Every structure is written in structure tokens, then in C-alpha cells.
Structure 1
Amino acid sequence: MVAVPYRPAPSPTVADAIADVSTISGYFELGVGPIEPGWRPLTDLPVEQRIADVAERLGTGETRVAASILFQGLAARLWSPAVGAAVAHGLLVDLAPARLHWYPAAGGPLPLRAERPTGWHVADAEDVQQMAEPLYRTVVSGLLEPLARAVQEVVRIAPGLLWGNAASSLAGAVRAIARGRPGLAARAAALGRELLEMGVLRGTGDLVEPAPGQPFFVRRSCCLYYRVPGGGMCEDCVLIDQETRRAQWETAMRVTRG
């Protein structure tokens, strides 16, 4: 008898998994419960206004830079709870745009909420292919591609830059899991690599491990953060020379090891 790869998960089970991974960091947080006044559907996100808000906060007059930083931050918010639940609980959470709500916040990760989250158990949590394909459809096809189109309606920005940002955000979620839940590092990295070989993420960069359980991303594009006043290059930036990159990795690994 062939095992069914996915089976429905009861809403309380999904809520418990979300609550668990929400403790990893603010980017993994996903509120569960009634949608109270002030919360708005994710499909009603005012992208042009959000880009303007980011530009003002960063002190940049370059709309393209603000749009890039906005997209990367939102990609991190959308990847993190989905990847966290998959890696930690073998659970695929339904993050359809119609189910998600957001709340205006002055700074920090964008607050997200789902009233009654649903999802599916994966038959074999060690089989990253079983998780990667539906995760890609949920996050990239369902959430990030519409967001990318909305951003590109506001400002001219290269698709490769946006998908490099999406890949960087995915890798950031993988590293956060490896740092916060070391026992899940190998599974998180394997899932990250599988996703990075799919669709628009293919060719955006490499997820490497200079030491076991220490995943780092090296992207092939730049998010433009270096153009922000007082900004610099991110640790995964294509513009960093190899010697500097390895020194940064060594420092990060020493911090992780405590």
C-alpha cells in the first residue's frame, strides 16, 4: 500500500505548530484567532505607500532601493512561518492570501494573522521533496509572485534582484532555524537547497555550510542596501570578497557556538 504524501491537519494542530515556531524569532510569528478591527487582508496591502514608508524610514530618495528592501522584508515574513512549520513539524500551513491579514506597524516584522489556519501533514518529514514543491507553490507562486508584480507596477526593478531577495530571505529563515533549533539544522538546510533549485529561485545563489549545521547563503545579486545612507553590504552580498566573507562566517560561527 502506497502512503498518501499529505493528509489534512486539524486546525488546533496547525495552531500549535505555528505557536511553537513563532518563538524562533519575530519573522516566524503568525497570530492565530479572530480578526480584530485594524487588521487588513494581505490582498489589500498598499504596496506603493509601503514603499514610500520604507524610503522615508531609510532616508533614501531612491524608490528602487526602498522597493527592494520592502520586498525582502516581506519575503522573510512569508517564508519564515511556512518553512518553520515544515521543518519542525512536518506540516504544510495554508497561507493563501485570502487567509492572511496584516496590521500597520511603525517598524519591525510586519504583523501577520490567520483566523483559523489549516494545513497538511507530510507523510515523511525527512523527504524534503514532499515539502518543497507545495511550499514553493504556497509561498512563491501564491504570495511572492503577486507581490513582485505589485512592486513592479510602482517602480522599475529587475526581476532577478527581487528573486535574489526572495532566496536570501529563504536562506535567512533556514539559518534562523539552524541557530535556534540546532537539531533541525540539517533538515532546514536540505529543504532550503531543494527550494533554491526550483523555478524563479534557481540560480539566485548557493546555500553553503563551512561547518556542519552552519548554513550561509552566497547570492548572485545585490539587494541595493549599500545605497542606503549609512548602509553597507549584507553578509550574503555578491559584492563581498571571499576573504572578508570567510572572516564574517568565522565570527558568526563563534557567536553561534557561544
Structure 2
Amino acid sequence: MTSSPTESRVIEEITALGPFFAIQTHPPGTHPSEPWQSLSRPLLEARVSDVRDRLAAGGGQPPAAVETRVAASVAHLGLAARLVSPALAAAVLHGLVLAPGLADLRWQPTLGGPTPLSLPDDAFTGGEEGSLSQLADELSSRLLDGTLRQLADAMAQFSVSRHILWGNTASAVNGAVTMITASRPEVTARTRTLTALLLERPPLRGASARTPGGTYRRRSCCLIYRAAPGRKGALCGDCALSR
């Protein structure tokens, strides 16, 4: 898998932010070779099943004790984070938009950490000077309402509500912000401004809010608490059910 010298520098800088930002590239229109795979229905089914097994084992339960939609929501959150994180970093650091079609991505079906991700090497667009509002418009229409909507459509087939799926996506955006600003504090203001603009636009509008103290809070729940015995697991810090 190769990329241009400029893209290689961008990828290196993005990847340095952490494993959720790590990306590789491949020539567009090519068939994946092992261990890479396209994101197909069988691959998603296998991922949801693996997540279900892992959640069940964590609670000392059989897999049947964990609802499929719970495993699907948790799997979706992880995949959404893998798409959002490098895209937000590329936008913040270079004004680039990463918004390939879901079918053009390549994945490795690993479990227990961020899923390896490869993008077509023509996925980088933009890079010209423009306002953060314009960049947020591009990300909203092409990434969120494009690639991320395609992922939500695929995961909705596992009986996960759209409300939860967009809440997961908004949570993934907020998580990426935390990691970017921790690694690159000099871009904190730019990152937070772009993110605020992004969360105000559809399809993420209304998926989250800020408390009076400024804390991020999603308006849905990823359902992971229901994977614990008696469905009494701990809630995530940004969960709508937290008080």
C-alpha cells in the first residue's frame, strides 16, 4: 500500500496521535488482499458476534445473555471512532476532508483494540484555506451524512435505533477531540471550534449537549450497561442516563 510523499507525511502525523488515528492507504478500485477485507454484511455479523462473546465473557455469562443490539451498538461505536478520529485530525491539522465511500474502505477483523483501517489513496481532498464553518459543512455533508450514514444504515439492521447510532457517532467525535487536544494542545482552540460547528449540523444536531458546567453529554445511551449481569452495568461518563 503506497501514497504520495505529501499524503505520507499527513498519514504519519495523524497516526502519531494514537491507535484510533492510524491509517494505511491502498489504490482505489482494487480488491482487498488478506488480511484486509471490505466491510460486508458477513464481516459486520462476525464483528457483532465477537463483541457479544467478549461482553458476555466479561460478565461471566453465556453469549445469549447479551442482546444482539447491545453488541451491535458497542461494535458500531468502535467502528465509528475509527472513521471519525483520522478524519477529524486531517481536518484540524491540514484542512483536509477524508470521506471515502464505506465500500472503498478496507478493514482487518481484529478484536480487542482499534480495528486496522485502510483508505483509498485518493480519499484526501481539500487542503485549501477556508473558514472552519466551510470545513464543518464539508465534513457534515460528505463524512457524517456520507460514510458515517452508510455505517449507521448497516448497523441499524441489527435493531439498533438511529437515535443511539447518531449518539455513538457524536460520542466518537468527542472522544477524538479529547485525544487530539491531549496530544496537540496547540490546536485545542481550532479543534473545539470545528467540533462545536460539526455537532450543530445535521445529522449530529441534537445528539449531544453541554451541561451548564461545560461537560459533554450525549442524549442517548450506547447500551453497554445492559451487557452486565442483570443489565446493571456501569454507565459511560457521557451517557444520557448519568446523573
Q: What range is the shorter-chain TM-score in? A: 0.7 to 0.9
* d(CA) in 2 for partners of 1:94, 1:24: 19
Alignment of 1:161 with 2:164, yes or no, is yes
Tell whether the 8 Å contact from 2:145 to 2:203 is kept in structure 1 after alignment. no
* d(CA) in 1 for partners of 2:163, 2:105: 26
Alignment of 1:13 with 2:6, yes or no, is yes
| 92 and 207 in structure 1: CA distance in 2 versus 1, 3 angstrom threshold | farther
Structure 2 equivalent of residue 175 of structure 1: 178
- Tell me how far 1:50 sits from its aligned partner: 1.4
Structure 2 equivalent of residue 52 of structure 1: 49
TM-score normalized with structure 1 length: 0.79
* d(CA) in 1 for partners of 2:55, 2:189: 35
Q: Aligned ranges for residues 152-231 of structure 1 at < 5 Å?
A: 152-153=156-157, 155-207=158-210, 216-229=215-228, 231=233
Structure 2 residue identity aligned to 1:195: L
* 1:58-110 per-position Cα deviation (integer Å, ceiling 9, x unaligned): 11521111111111111100000000011012222343334321112132111
* 1:177-236 per-position Cα deviation (integer Å, ceiling 9, x unaligned): 1111111111111111111111121111125796xxxx8521111111222227411111
* d(CA) in 2 for partners of 1:36, 1:69: 27
Alignment of 1:61 with 2:54, yes or no, is no
| 208 and 98 in structure 1: CA distance in 2 versus 1, 3 angstrom threshold | same
Tell whether the 8 Å contact from 2:47 to 2:75 is kept in structure 1 after alignment. yes
Structure 1 residue identity aligned to 2:148: L
Structure 2 equivalent of residue 254 of structure 1: none
* 1:134-159 per-position Cα deviation (integer Å, ceiling 9, x unaligned): 21233222222122222222x32221
| RMSD of aligned alpha carbons | 2.3
Tell whether the 8 Å contact from 1:14 to 1:117 is kept in structure 2 after alignment. no
Figure out how many residues of one structure are paired with residues of the other and give that number. 226
Q: Aligned ranges for residues 121-132 of structure 1 at < 5 Å?
A: 121-124=126-129, 127-132=131-136
Give the gaps of 5 or more residues in structure 2. Answer: 57-64
| 96 and 179 in structure 1: CA distance in 2 versus 1, 3 angstrom threshold | same
Q: Describe the SS at the equivalent of 2:203.
A: helix
Q: Describe the SS at the equivalent of 2:176.
A: helix
Tell whether the 8 Å contact from 1:11 to 1:118 is kept in structure 2 after alignment. no
Tell whether the 8 Å contact from 2:221 to 2:239 is kept in structure 1 after alignment. yes
Give the gaps of 5 or more residues in structure 1. Answer: 1-9, 242-258
TM-score normalized with structure 2 length: 0.83
